[in-house]
Chain A
Amino acid sequence: MRTASDPPAIEFRNVTKRFYLKDGRTLREFAQAILTRRAWGDEFSALQDVSFQVERGESLGIIGRNGSGKSTALKLIAGVTAPSSGEVYVTGRVSPLIELGAGFHPDLTGRENVHLNGSILGMSDREINEQFDSIVDFAELRDFIDTPVKRYSSGMYMRLGFAVAVHSNPDILLVDEVLSVGDAFFQEKCQQRMREFKQQGVTIVLVSHSAETIMNFCDRALRIDHGRLVADGPARQIVDEYMATVPQHVEAG
Protein backbone atom coordinates (compact mmCIF):
# COMPACT_ATOMS: atom_id res chain seq x y z
CA MET A 1 0.00 0.00 0.00
CA ARG A 2 2.47 2.63 1.09
CA THR A 3 5.50 3.84 -0.71
CA ALA A 4 8.59 5.58 0.54
CA SER A 5 7.16 8.96 -0.45
CA ASP A 6 3.94 8.33 1.39
CA PRO A 7 4.71 7.22 4.91
CA PRO A 8 1.88 6.45 7.31
CA ALA A 9 0.69 9.42 9.31
CA ILE A 10 1.33 7.61 12.57
CA GLU A 11 3.32 4.55 13.34
CA PHE A 12 3.88 2.88 16.72
CA ARG A 13 6.59 0.24 16.84
CA ASN A 14 6.59 -1.89 19.99
CA VAL A 15 5.85 1.12 22.12
CA THR A 16 6.00 0.75 25.87
CA LYS A 17 5.39 3.64 28.21
CA ARG A 18 6.18 3.36 31.88
CA PHE A 19 5.45 5.85 34.60
CA TYR A 20 6.73 6.11 38.12
CA LEU A 21 3.92 5.60 40.56
CA LYS A 22 5.32 7.62 43.38
CA ASP A 23 4.96 11.35 43.26
CA GLY A 24 6.89 14.08 45.00
CA ARG A 25 10.39 12.77 44.53
CA THR A 26 12.97 14.83 46.30
CA LEU A 27 16.63 15.56 45.81
CA ARG A 28 17.47 13.17 48.61
CA GLU A 29 15.74 10.27 46.90
CA PHE A 30 17.40 11.27 43.67
CA ALA A 31 20.82 11.18 45.33
CA GLN A 32 20.02 7.79 46.85
CA ALA A 33 18.89 6.45 43.50
CA ILE A 34 22.08 7.62 41.87
CA LEU A 35 24.27 6.18 44.61
CA THR A 36 22.54 2.82 44.67
CA ARG A 37 21.99 2.82 40.90
CA ARG A 38 18.40 1.75 41.28
CA ALA A 39 15.23 2.98 39.63
CA TRP A 40 13.22 5.50 41.60
CA GLY A 41 10.24 3.82 43.11
CA ASP A 42 7.70 1.55 41.51
CA GLU A 43 6.89 1.63 37.86
CA PHE A 44 3.61 1.21 36.11
CA SER A 45 3.18 0.42 32.42
CA ALA A 46 0.57 2.62 30.76
CA LEU A 47 1.23 1.00 27.39
CA GLN A 48 2.92 -2.31 26.72
CA ASP A 49 4.42 -3.33 23.41
CA VAL A 50 1.82 -1.56 21.27
CA SER A 51 2.29 -1.50 17.50
CA PHE A 52 -0.02 -0.06 14.88
CA GLN A 53 -0.05 2.21 11.84
CA VAL A 54 -2.51 4.87 10.81
CA GLU A 55 -2.54 5.72 7.13
CA ARG A 56 -3.00 9.28 5.99
CA GLY A 57 -6.64 10.32 5.87
CA GLU A 58 -7.75 7.44 8.02
CA SER A 59 -9.91 8.08 11.05
CA LEU A 60 -9.08 5.89 13.97
CA GLY A 61 -10.95 5.45 17.20
CA ILE A 62 -9.28 4.23 20.36
CA ILE A 63 -11.63 2.66 22.83
CA GLY A 64 -11.01 1.31 26.28
CA ARG A 65 -11.85 1.80 29.93
CA ASN A 66 -10.57 4.67 32.01
CA GLY A 67 -6.90 4.18 32.73
CA SER A 68 -6.42 1.70 29.90
CA GLY A 69 -3.76 3.87 28.27
CA LYS A 70 -5.83 5.73 25.67
CA SER A 71 -4.73 9.19 26.72
CA THR A 72 -1.12 8.08 26.98
CA ALA A 73 -1.32 6.97 23.36
CA LEU A 74 -2.63 10.42 22.38
CA LYS A 75 0.16 12.13 24.32
CA LEU A 76 2.73 10.03 22.52
CA ILE A 77 1.23 11.02 19.17
CA ALA A 78 1.14 14.66 20.22
CA GLY A 79 4.84 14.36 21.03
CA VAL A 80 4.35 15.62 24.54
CA THR A 81 5.94 12.56 26.05
CA ALA A 82 8.45 10.04 24.76
CA PRO A 83 8.11 6.25 24.78
CA SER A 84 10.10 4.31 27.38
CA SER A 85 10.98 1.85 24.67
CA GLY A 86 9.95 1.37 21.07
CA GLU A 87 9.44 4.12 18.54
CA VAL A 88 6.73 6.55 17.55
CA TYR A 89 6.77 8.07 14.07
CA VAL A 90 4.49 10.97 13.27
CA THR A 91 4.38 12.74 9.91
CA GLY A 92 2.63 16.06 9.63
CA ARG A 93 1.32 18.82 11.81
CA VAL A 94 -0.52 17.54 14.85
CA SER A 95 -3.29 19.55 16.41
CA PRO A 96 -4.42 18.25 19.75
CA LEU A 97 -7.98 19.01 20.81
CA ILE A 98 -7.06 17.99 24.31
CA GLU A 99 -8.45 20.24 27.01
CA LEU A 100 -9.13 23.21 24.82
CA GLY A 101 -7.74 26.54 25.75
CA ALA A 102 -4.87 25.14 27.81
CA GLY A 103 -2.69 27.87 26.39
CA PHE A 104 -5.00 30.74 27.19
CA HIS A 105 -3.82 33.50 29.48
CA PRO A 106 -6.76 34.74 31.57
CA ASP A 107 -5.68 38.39 31.52
CA LEU A 108 -5.33 38.58 27.76
CA THR A 109 -8.28 39.32 25.47
CA GLY A 110 -9.84 36.75 23.18
CA ARG A 111 -8.03 38.34 20.25
CA GLU A 112 -4.62 38.12 21.92
CA ASN A 113 -5.28 34.56 23.00
CA VAL A 114 -6.19 33.53 19.46
CA HIS A 115 -2.76 34.72 18.36
CA LEU A 116 -1.00 33.08 21.29
CA ASN A 117 -2.81 29.77 20.98
CA GLY A 118 -2.48 29.71 17.22
CA SER A 119 1.26 30.10 17.43
CA ILE A 120 1.48 27.43 20.13
CA LEU A 121 -0.24 25.08 17.67
CA GLY A 122 2.37 25.95 15.06
CA MET A 123 0.55 28.55 12.97
CA SER A 124 2.55 31.45 11.58
CA ASP A 125 1.36 35.02 12.18
CA ARG A 126 0.25 35.31 8.57
CA GLU A 127 -1.83 32.16 8.82
CA ILE A 128 -3.46 33.40 12.02
CA ASN A 129 -4.32 36.77 10.47
CA GLU A 130 -5.82 35.08 7.43
CA GLN A 131 -7.92 32.75 9.56
CA PHE A 132 -8.78 35.26 12.26
CA ASP A 133 -12.29 36.24 11.12
CA SER A 134 -13.17 32.68 10.41
CA ILE A 135 -12.01 31.64 13.89
CA VAL A 136 -14.05 34.35 15.59
CA ASP A 137 -17.16 33.54 13.55
CA PHE A 138 -16.79 29.85 14.24
CA ALA A 139 -16.53 30.52 17.98
CA GLU A 140 -19.48 32.97 17.75
CA LEU A 141 -17.59 35.43 19.91
CA ARG A 142 -17.54 38.49 17.66
CA ASP A 143 -18.88 40.77 20.44
CA PHE A 144 -16.52 39.49 23.12
CA ILE A 145 -13.28 39.16 21.22
CA ASP A 146 -11.69 42.16 22.96
CA THR A 147 -12.77 41.04 26.42
CA PRO A 148 -10.21 39.31 28.68
CA VAL A 149 -10.96 35.60 28.57
CA LYS A 150 -11.22 35.41 32.36
CA ARG A 151 -14.63 37.05 31.90
CA TYR A 152 -15.67 34.27 29.52
CA SER A 153 -17.98 31.47 30.57
CA SER A 154 -16.44 28.02 30.40
CA GLY A 155 -18.44 27.34 27.25
CA MET A 156 -17.10 30.46 25.53
CA TYR A 157 -13.59 29.54 26.59
CA MET A 158 -13.82 26.10 25.05
CA ARG A 159 -15.52 27.36 21.91
CA LEU A 160 -12.63 29.71 21.26
CA GLY A 161 -10.11 26.96 21.98
CA PHE A 162 -11.87 24.58 19.62
CA ALA A 163 -12.17 27.27 16.94
CA VAL A 164 -8.42 27.97 17.00
CA ALA A 165 -7.52 24.28 16.93
CA VAL A 166 -9.73 23.45 13.95
CA HIS A 167 -8.33 26.41 12.01
CA SER A 168 -4.73 25.40 12.57
CA ASN A 169 -4.72 23.41 9.32
CA PRO A 170 -3.71 20.12 10.91
CA ASP A 171 -2.61 16.97 9.11
CA ILE A 172 -3.46 14.95 12.18
CA LEU A 173 -6.24 15.87 14.55
CA LEU A 174 -6.25 14.38 18.02
CA VAL A 175 -9.61 14.42 19.75
CA ASP A 176 -10.03 13.48 23.39
CA GLU A 177 -13.66 13.47 24.50
CA VAL A 178 -14.15 17.10 23.69
CA LEU A 179 -17.12 16.81 21.38
CA SER A 180 -19.31 17.61 24.35
CA VAL A 181 -18.24 21.27 24.17
CA GLY A 182 -20.95 23.91 24.29
CA ASP A 183 -24.62 23.61 23.50
CA ALA A 184 -26.29 21.32 20.99
CA PHE A 185 -25.85 23.81 18.14
CA PHE A 186 -22.16 24.19 18.72
CA GLN A 187 -21.76 20.44 19.05
CA GLU A 188 -23.42 19.95 15.71
CA LYS A 189 -21.08 22.53 14.21
CA CYS A 190 -18.05 20.74 15.61
CA GLN A 191 -19.22 17.42 14.26
CA GLN A 192 -19.82 19.04 10.89
CA ARG A 193 -16.31 20.42 10.95
CA MET A 194 -14.89 17.01 11.82
CA ARG A 195 -16.69 15.49 8.84
CA GLU A 196 -15.19 18.19 6.61
CA PHE A 197 -11.75 17.34 7.93
CA LYS A 198 -12.39 13.72 7.14
CA GLN A 199 -13.36 14.58 3.58
CA GLN A 200 -10.23 16.74 3.21
CA GLY A 201 -8.10 13.73 4.08
CA VAL A 202 -7.07 14.83 7.55
CA THR A 203 -6.04 11.93 9.75
CA ILE A 204 -8.21 11.83 12.86
CA VAL A 205 -7.49 9.97 16.06
CA LEU A 206 -10.38 9.98 18.45
CA VAL A 207 -10.24 8.70 21.98
CA SER A 208 -13.49 7.94 23.69
CA HIS A 209 -15.35 5.52 25.83
CA SER A 210 -18.50 6.47 23.99
CA ALA A 211 -19.27 3.77 21.45
CA GLU A 212 -21.58 6.11 19.58
CA THR A 213 -18.96 8.80 18.91
CA ILE A 214 -16.50 6.25 17.60
CA MET A 215 -19.02 4.60 15.30
CA ASN A 216 -20.06 8.02 14.00
CA PHE A 217 -16.62 9.09 12.91
CA CYS A 218 -14.20 6.26 12.64
CA ASP A 219 -13.51 3.70 9.98
CA ARG A 220 -11.23 1.73 12.16
CA ALA A 221 -10.80 1.26 15.88
CA LEU A 222 -8.30 -0.05 18.38
CA ARG A 223 -9.25 -1.47 21.72
CA ILE A 224 -6.77 -1.02 24.51
CA ASP A 225 -7.04 -2.89 27.78
CA HIS A 226 -4.57 -2.49 30.65
CA GLY A 227 -2.02 -0.97 28.32
CA ARG A 228 -2.18 -3.73 25.74
CA LEU A 229 -3.59 -3.54 22.27
CA VAL A 230 -6.24 -6.26 22.30
CA ALA A 231 -8.12 -5.64 19.07
CA ASP A 232 -7.65 -3.73 15.81
CA GLY A 233 -10.26 -3.72 13.08
CA PRO A 234 -13.34 -2.05 11.56
CA ALA A 235 -14.88 0.41 14.03
CA ARG A 236 -18.28 -1.28 14.23
CA GLN A 237 -16.85 -4.71 14.93
CA ILE A 238 -14.45 -3.45 17.59
CA VAL A 239 -17.13 -1.38 19.27
CA ASP A 240 -19.56 -4.31 19.32
CA GLU A 241 -16.93 -6.52 20.87
CA TYR A 242 -16.13 -3.84 23.43
CA MET A 243 -19.79 -3.38 24.32
CA ALA A 244 -20.11 -7.10 24.87
CA THR A 245 -17.45 -6.91 27.58
CA VAL A 246 -19.21 -4.09 29.40
CA PRO A 247 -21.56 -5.39 32.11
CA GLN A 248 -25.13 -4.38 31.31
CA HIS A 249 -25.85 -2.64 34.60
CA VAL A 250 -22.84 -0.35 34.10
CA GLU A 251 -23.98 0.55 30.62
CA ALA A 252 -27.47 1.45 31.89
CA GLY A 253 -25.93 4.00 34.28
Chain B
Amino acid sequence: MDRVPPIPRQPIATSSGPLDLLRHVAEFWRRRDLLWHMVIRHLRGQYKQSVLGYAWAFLNPLSLMIILSFVFSTILRIAPPQGVPYPLFLFVGLVPWLFFSSALSSGTDSVTNASSLVSKVYFPREVLPTAAVLTKLVDLFFGMIILIMLMAYYGRLPEPTIYWFPLLFGIHMVFTLGLTFPLAALNLYFHDVRFLVGVVLTLWFYLTPILYPIDFVPEKYSIIFELNPNALFINAYRRVILYGEDPEPGRVLIGLAVAVASIVIGYFLFKRMEKGFADSI
Protein backbone atom coordinates (compact mmCIF):
# COMPACT_ATOMS: atom_id res chain seq x y z
CA MET B 1 0.00 0.00 0.00
CA ASP B 2 1.78 3.05 -1.21
CA ARG B 3 -0.96 5.59 -0.92
CA VAL B 4 -3.82 6.03 1.40
CA PRO B 5 -6.71 5.10 -0.86
CA PRO B 6 -9.48 7.56 -1.58
CA ILE B 7 -12.13 7.80 1.05
CA PRO B 8 -15.55 7.72 -0.58
CA ARG B 9 -17.45 9.18 2.34
CA GLN B 10 -16.77 11.57 5.15
CA PRO B 11 -13.48 10.59 6.73
CA ILE B 12 -14.85 11.40 10.17
CA ALA B 13 -16.93 8.62 11.63
CA THR B 14 -20.60 9.47 11.35
CA SER B 15 -21.87 6.00 12.03
CA SER B 16 -20.43 3.36 14.29
CA GLY B 17 -21.88 -0.05 13.62
CA PRO B 18 -19.72 -3.18 13.91
CA LEU B 19 -18.75 -2.99 10.21
CA ASP B 20 -17.69 0.64 10.51
CA LEU B 21 -15.54 -0.31 13.46
CA LEU B 22 -13.70 -2.91 11.38
CA ARG B 23 -13.24 -0.35 8.64
CA HIS B 24 -11.70 2.03 11.16
CA VAL B 25 -9.34 -0.64 12.42
CA ALA B 26 -8.24 -1.34 8.83
CA GLU B 27 -7.65 2.36 8.25
CA PHE B 28 -5.69 2.58 11.49
CA TRP B 29 -3.51 -0.33 10.39
CA ARG B 30 -2.82 1.36 7.05
CA ARG B 31 -1.57 4.40 8.93
CA ARG B 32 0.91 2.48 11.08
CA ASP B 33 3.80 4.57 9.68
CA LEU B 34 2.20 7.55 11.33
CA LEU B 35 1.89 5.71 14.63
CA TRP B 36 5.59 4.92 14.49
CA HIS B 37 6.51 8.54 13.76
CA MET B 38 4.35 9.73 16.64
CA VAL B 39 6.09 7.34 19.04
CA ILE B 40 9.49 8.60 17.86
CA ARG B 41 8.27 12.16 18.25
CA HIS B 42 7.28 11.52 21.87
CA LEU B 43 10.52 9.74 22.65
CA ARG B 44 12.72 12.39 21.07
CA GLY B 45 10.77 15.17 22.69
CA GLN B 46 10.46 13.60 26.14
CA TYR B 47 13.90 14.15 27.60
CA LYS B 48 15.28 16.77 25.21
CA GLN B 49 16.87 19.68 26.99
CA SER B 50 17.34 17.69 30.17
CA VAL B 51 20.97 17.13 31.14
CA LEU B 52 20.47 13.56 32.31
CA GLY B 53 18.21 12.64 29.40
CA TYR B 54 17.18 9.00 29.52
CA ALA B 55 18.84 8.51 32.89
CA TRP B 56 15.57 9.92 34.25
CA ALA B 57 13.79 6.83 33.02
CA PHE B 58 16.05 4.89 35.43
CA LEU B 59 16.13 7.39 38.25
CA ASN B 60 12.38 7.70 38.68
CA PRO B 61 11.57 4.02 39.38
CA LEU B 62 14.85 3.51 41.23
CA SER B 63 14.23 6.33 43.69
CA LEU B 64 10.64 5.19 44.22
CA MET B 65 11.82 1.66 44.88
CA ILE B 66 14.38 2.83 47.45
CA ILE B 67 12.03 5.08 49.40
CA LEU B 68 9.10 2.66 49.33
CA SER B 69 11.36 -0.20 50.44
CA PHE B 70 12.63 1.92 53.30
CA VAL B 71 9.13 2.85 54.47
CA PHE B 72 7.38 -0.47 54.01
CA SER B 73 10.15 -2.95 54.66
CA THR B 74 12.47 -1.23 57.14
CA ILE B 75 9.86 0.79 59.05
CA LEU B 76 6.60 -1.09 58.63
CA ARG B 77 8.27 -4.53 58.40
CA ILE B 78 6.21 -5.99 55.59
CA ALA B 79 7.65 -9.42 54.78
CA PRO B 80 6.74 -10.98 51.43
CA PRO B 81 6.00 -14.75 51.39
CA GLN B 82 8.77 -17.34 50.92
CA GLY B 83 11.54 -14.97 51.97
CA VAL B 84 11.58 -12.93 48.76
CA PRO B 85 13.48 -9.68 49.48
CA TYR B 86 11.03 -6.80 49.75
CA PRO B 87 12.68 -4.54 47.11
CA LEU B 88 12.36 -7.35 44.56
CA PHE B 89 8.81 -8.14 45.57
CA LEU B 90 7.90 -4.46 45.32
CA PHE B 91 9.66 -3.82 42.04
CA VAL B 92 8.00 -6.67 40.13
CA GLY B 93 4.69 -4.97 40.88
CA LEU B 94 5.87 -1.38 40.73
CA VAL B 95 7.36 -1.42 37.21
CA PRO B 96 4.17 -2.61 35.46
CA TRP B 97 2.12 -0.27 37.65
CA LEU B 98 4.27 2.70 36.61
CA PHE B 99 3.68 1.71 33.01
CA PHE B 100 -0.06 1.52 33.57
CA SER B 101 -0.34 4.82 35.39
CA SER B 102 1.99 6.85 33.17
CA ALA B 103 0.41 5.40 30.01
CA LEU B 104 -3.07 6.20 31.27
CA SER B 105 -2.27 9.76 32.26
CA SER B 106 -0.25 10.65 29.17
CA GLY B 107 -2.81 8.89 26.97
CA THR B 108 -5.61 10.93 28.54
CA ASP B 109 -3.82 14.15 27.61
CA SER B 110 -2.69 12.97 24.17
CA VAL B 111 -5.56 14.25 22.05
CA THR B 112 -5.92 17.50 24.00
CA ASN B 113 -2.20 18.19 23.63
CA ALA B 114 -2.39 17.70 19.88
CA SER B 115 -5.36 20.06 19.53
CA SER B 116 -3.66 22.24 16.90
CA LEU B 117 -3.26 19.16 14.71
CA VAL B 118 -6.66 17.70 15.42
CA SER B 119 -8.41 20.89 14.36
CA LYS B 120 -6.58 21.06 11.03
CA VAL B 121 -5.74 17.69 9.53
CA TYR B 122 -7.64 14.45 9.51
CA PHE B 123 -5.86 11.26 10.47
CA PRO B 124 -7.22 8.44 12.60
CA ARG B 125 -7.20 10.09 16.00
CA GLU B 126 -6.65 6.82 17.83
CA VAL B 127 -3.03 7.18 16.69
CA LEU B 128 -2.54 9.77 19.44
CA PRO B 129 -3.49 7.75 22.56
CA THR B 130 -1.97 4.60 21.08
CA ALA B 131 1.35 6.36 20.50
CA ALA B 132 1.25 7.77 24.04
CA VAL B 133 0.77 4.28 25.49
CA LEU B 134 3.41 2.64 23.26
CA THR B 135 5.93 5.34 24.20
CA LYS B 136 5.78 4.19 27.81
CA LEU B 137 7.06 0.77 26.76
CA VAL B 138 10.51 2.31 26.78
CA ASP B 139 10.16 3.15 30.47
CA LEU B 140 8.96 -0.38 31.11
CA PHE B 141 12.01 -1.71 29.29
CA PHE B 142 14.35 0.37 31.48
CA GLY B 143 12.44 -0.78 34.54
CA MET B 144 12.93 -4.40 33.53
CA ILE B 145 16.67 -3.80 33.17
CA ILE B 146 16.78 -2.47 36.73
CA LEU B 147 14.76 -5.49 37.85
CA ILE B 148 17.26 -7.89 36.27
CA MET B 149 20.13 -6.04 37.96
CA LEU B 150 18.28 -6.11 41.26
CA MET B 151 17.75 -9.86 40.94
CA ALA B 152 21.45 -10.32 40.22
CA TYR B 153 22.24 -8.25 43.31
CA TYR B 154 20.12 -10.58 45.46
CA GLY B 155 21.68 -13.60 43.76
CA ARG B 156 18.41 -14.79 42.25
CA LEU B 157 17.65 -15.83 38.71
CA PRO B 158 14.26 -15.14 37.18
CA GLU B 159 12.21 -18.34 37.33
CA PRO B 160 11.83 -20.22 34.02
CA THR B 161 8.12 -19.41 34.10
CA ILE B 162 9.12 -15.84 33.13
CA TYR B 163 8.22 -16.79 29.55
CA TRP B 164 4.64 -16.07 30.58
CA PHE B 165 5.52 -12.43 31.19
CA PRO B 166 5.28 -11.12 27.58
CA LEU B 167 1.86 -12.70 27.15
CA LEU B 168 0.57 -11.41 30.49
CA PHE B 169 1.97 -7.98 29.86
CA GLY B 170 0.50 -7.94 26.35
CA ILE B 171 -2.95 -8.50 27.85
CA HIS B 172 -2.28 -5.84 30.47
CA MET B 173 -1.30 -3.37 27.74
CA VAL B 174 -4.47 -4.04 25.75
CA PHE B 175 -6.46 -3.35 28.92
CA THR B 176 -4.52 -0.11 29.44
CA LEU B 177 -5.17 1.01 25.87
CA GLY B 178 -8.85 0.16 26.19
CA LEU B 179 -9.15 2.44 29.25
CA THR B 180 -7.10 5.19 27.61
CA PHE B 181 -9.28 5.56 24.50
CA PRO B 182 -12.49 6.85 26.10
CA LEU B 183 -10.58 8.93 28.66
CA ALA B 184 -8.58 10.67 25.92
CA ALA B 185 -11.82 11.48 24.09
CA LEU B 186 -13.69 12.62 27.19
CA ASN B 187 -10.80 14.83 28.27
CA LEU B 188 -11.38 16.93 25.18
CA TYR B 189 -14.94 17.65 26.22
CA PHE B 190 -14.28 18.04 29.95
CA HIS B 191 -10.89 18.99 31.22
CA ASP B 192 -12.01 17.62 34.56
CA VAL B 193 -11.14 14.17 33.27
CA ARG B 194 -7.39 14.57 33.59
CA PHE B 195 -7.71 15.56 37.25
CA LEU B 196 -10.12 12.73 37.87
CA VAL B 197 -7.62 10.30 36.34
CA GLY B 198 -4.93 11.61 38.70
CA VAL B 199 -7.12 11.04 41.76
CA VAL B 200 -8.32 7.63 40.62
CA LEU B 201 -4.75 6.49 39.89
CA THR B 202 -3.65 7.42 43.42
CA LEU B 203 -6.50 5.45 44.99
CA TRP B 204 -5.97 2.58 42.58
CA PHE B 205 -2.29 2.37 43.50
CA TYR B 206 -3.11 1.69 47.16
CA LEU B 207 -5.92 -0.71 46.31
CA THR B 208 -3.61 -2.82 44.18
CA PRO B 209 -1.28 -5.22 45.99
CA ILE B 210 1.95 -3.49 45.00
CA LEU B 211 3.27 -2.45 48.40
CA TYR B 212 1.91 -5.50 50.21
CA PRO B 213 1.18 -9.15 49.41
CA ILE B 214 -2.42 -9.98 48.51
CA ASP B 215 -2.51 -12.45 51.44
CA PHE B 216 -2.45 -9.52 53.87
CA VAL B 217 -5.88 -8.40 52.72
CA PRO B 218 -8.67 -9.29 55.20
CA GLU B 219 -11.25 -11.69 53.80
CA LYS B 220 -14.15 -9.25 53.89
CA TYR B 221 -12.32 -6.79 51.57
CA SER B 222 -11.03 -9.39 49.15
CA ILE B 223 -13.85 -8.65 46.70
CA ILE B 224 -12.22 -5.28 45.88
CA PHE B 225 -9.09 -7.10 44.80
CA GLU B 226 -10.96 -9.76 42.90
CA LEU B 227 -12.59 -7.03 40.83
CA ASN B 228 -9.36 -5.13 40.22
CA PRO B 229 -7.72 -6.18 36.94
CA ASN B 230 -4.41 -4.59 37.97
CA ALA B 231 -4.31 -6.82 41.07
CA LEU B 232 -4.84 -9.82 38.85
CA PHE B 233 -1.98 -8.88 36.52
CA ILE B 234 0.46 -7.93 39.27
CA ASN B 235 -0.17 -11.14 41.20
CA ALA B 236 0.44 -13.08 38.00
CA TYR B 237 3.74 -11.23 37.36
CA ARG B 238 4.94 -12.18 40.85
CA ARG B 239 3.99 -15.81 40.36
CA VAL B 240 5.84 -16.17 37.07
CA ILE B 241 8.91 -14.06 37.86
CA LEU B 242 9.51 -14.64 41.58
CA TYR B 243 7.75 -17.85 42.56
CA GLY B 244 8.18 -20.04 39.50
CA GLU B 245 4.48 -20.90 39.32
CA ASP B 246 2.37 -20.88 36.20
CA PRO B 247 -0.42 -18.30 36.27
CA GLU B 248 -3.85 -19.70 37.10
CA PRO B 249 -5.52 -20.40 33.73
CA GLY B 250 -8.92 -19.21 34.95
CA ARG B 251 -7.48 -15.86 35.96
CA VAL B 252 -5.57 -15.44 32.71
CA LEU B 253 -8.82 -15.98 30.84
CA ILE B 254 -10.61 -13.45 33.04
CA GLY B 255 -7.81 -10.96 32.38
CA LEU B 256 -8.05 -11.63 28.68
CA ALA B 257 -11.82 -11.20 28.66
CA VAL B 258 -11.57 -7.92 30.57
CA ALA B 259 -8.86 -6.66 28.22
CA VAL B 260 -10.79 -7.54 25.07
CA ALA B 261 -13.99 -6.04 26.44
CA SER B 262 -12.20 -2.84 27.42
CA ILE B 263 -10.49 -2.37 24.06
CA VAL B 264 -13.66 -3.04 22.05
CA ILE B 265 -15.86 -0.80 24.17
CA GLY B 266 -13.13 1.83 24.57
CA TYR B 267 -12.44 2.00 20.85
CA PHE B 268 -16.14 2.14 20.06
CA LEU B 269 -16.68 5.04 22.48
CA PHE B 270 -13.62 6.85 21.13
CA LYS B 271 -14.89 6.59 17.57
CA ARG B 272 -18.35 7.71 18.66
CA MET B 273 -16.93 10.88 20.16
CA GLU B 274 -14.33 11.49 17.45
CA LYS B 275 -16.48 13.58 15.14
CA GLY B 276 -16.91 16.24 17.79
CA PHE B 277 -13.21 16.57 18.61
CA ALA B 278 -12.41 19.56 16.41
CA ASP B 279 -15.52 21.41 17.61
CA SER B 280 -14.59 20.98 21.26
CA ILE B 281 -11.12 22.47 21.03
Contact = CB atoms under 8 A, between A and B. Distances in A.
B10 A87 contact: yes
B10 A112 contact: no
A177 to B, nearest CB: 13
Contact of A80 (B34, B38, B119): B119
B41 A79 contact: no
B12 A79 contact: yes
A93 B123 CA distance: 11
Interface string A105-123: 1011000100110011110
Contact of A122 (B4, B49, B118, B276): B4
Contacts, number: 112
A80 B9 contact: no
A115 to B, nearest CB: 6
Contacts of B117: 102-103, 120
Interface in A1-41: 7, 19-20, 25-27, 30
Contacts of B48: 107
B209 to A, nearest CB: 32
Given A79-B10, A91-B7, A124 B1 contact: yes
Given A25-B190, A124-B2, A102 B121 contact: yes
B118 A80 contact: yes
Interface in A93-147: 93-94, 96, 98-99, 102-103, 105, 107-108, 112, 115-116, 119-122, 124-127
B33 interface: yes
Contact of B44 (A93, A103, A108): A108
B37 A119 contact: yes
B120 A80 contact: yes
B273 to A, nearest CB: 11
A75 B9 CA distance: 15
Contact of B120 (A91, A102, A105): A102
Contacts of A94: 122
Contact of B121 (A103, A112, A125): A103
Contacts of B220: none
Interface of B: 1-4, 6-14, 31, 33-34, 36-38, 40-41, 44-45, 48-49, 116-123, 189-190, 192, 275-276, 278-279
9 contacts: A78-B122, A79-B10, A80-B122, A89-B8, A90-B10, A91-B8, A94-B122, A107-B48, A122-B123
Given A79-B7, A107-B49, A112-B44, 12 more contacts: A20-B279, A79-B122, A80-B12, A80-B121, A91-B7, A93-B6, A94-B122, A102-B121, A108-B41, A116-B38, A116-B41, A120-B123
